[in-house]
Structure 1
Amino acid sequence: MATDLTRVGPRLRAARQQRGWTLADLAGKAGMSISTLSRLEAGRRQASLELLLPLVSVLDLRLDDLVRGEPVDPRVRRATERRHGMVVAPLTLEHSPMQTYKIRYAAASVAPQPKVHDGVEWFYVLSGTIRLLLDGEEHRIGAGEAAEFDTGLPHSISATDDGPAEVVSIFSASGERIHVHGA
């Protein structure tokens, strides 16, 4: 993917404004003149590493955030899969830091064995009832309810034997491996 330097100025301006900073604020923090920063943002000054490195450091950005090429298609086009008795529909791009899925759990009379891992998990029940075993206690969470918990506690998630249940779940990387891939 080729870089597009014409987008550096608007991206720089947006990052500055998002923080509520003036040209003077950012220029002072980055050790450059207001005029240089203004010309960079307006596209009247060629972007160079010498100018951009202090700016990305102060703005807590990656250089790629300013010089990346064409925007990627934001639509999630990942296939729905059947895994371990679940229907799993990805709702985020593959390389997102947090993974979100719509998961349909089949009715189950017995809960899976609890597991532990690093992170925090969150889910919202769209339909049915979810059985959350958490640290030795069973919680039944119905449609319209949500749960958030520390995954360092022994836990398992399943539908009850009343019927299937559908949730939207947000996982950290370790939670995704355990609950979606069954690793």
Structure 2
Amino acid sequence: MSTDPGAVLRQLRNERGWTLTDVSKRTGLPVSTLSKVETGKMSLSYEKLLRISAGLDIDITQLFATPSPAGATSVKLSGRRSITRAQEGSSIRTSTYSYVYPAADLLKKVLNPMFIEVEARSIDEFDDLMRHPGEEYALVLEGRCEFHCDLYAPAILETGDSIYFDAAMGHAYVAIGPDPCRILSVCSADSHELKSTLRPVNGDA
């Protein structure tokens, strides 16, 4: 199932009585960008998704969950469990990656798993390297990729190879060759760190 984060953002904003300007102040994203996201005219990078989730004080996976009916109350879970079948999961596509988020129904997770289809074939396709709080583990499930980061030389990762790193370093995955490259990534991020780190960036579109 693919859910539009823009529709979820619009519902959350309306439920809270916020304008696009209010959301812009909380996330640091321009009003024009937020408007395009809500109307489905623009996709979002993972970093911007994190900034929106931090500004709205929600788990990032809530942006991919089916909006709750008006007046519905959240249920506190005990002994949480979530099963995601093959070909299921909330998904979103950006210019460089296609993401599928399993266990999207569980909010406030300690770990955030993602299946990433690497679309980028050159590091030049990235406006900036991605960075976010916490640590990240990535396992190459299919294909080959080149891992780029701030502090180390690029590294080639083959099928079955994995990497664990400090996600505060700028980083990016670039597919090598014509074959698909698919990665399982698991990120850790503290919600308080997100809110303190993902502050408005002047001129970010």
Scaled by the length of structure 1, the TM-score of the pair is: 0.49
Larger Rg: 1
Higher RCO structure, 1 or 2 (CA under 8 Å, sep 6+): 2
Structure that is richer in strand per residue: 1
Scaled by the length of structure 2, the TM-score of the pair is: 0.44
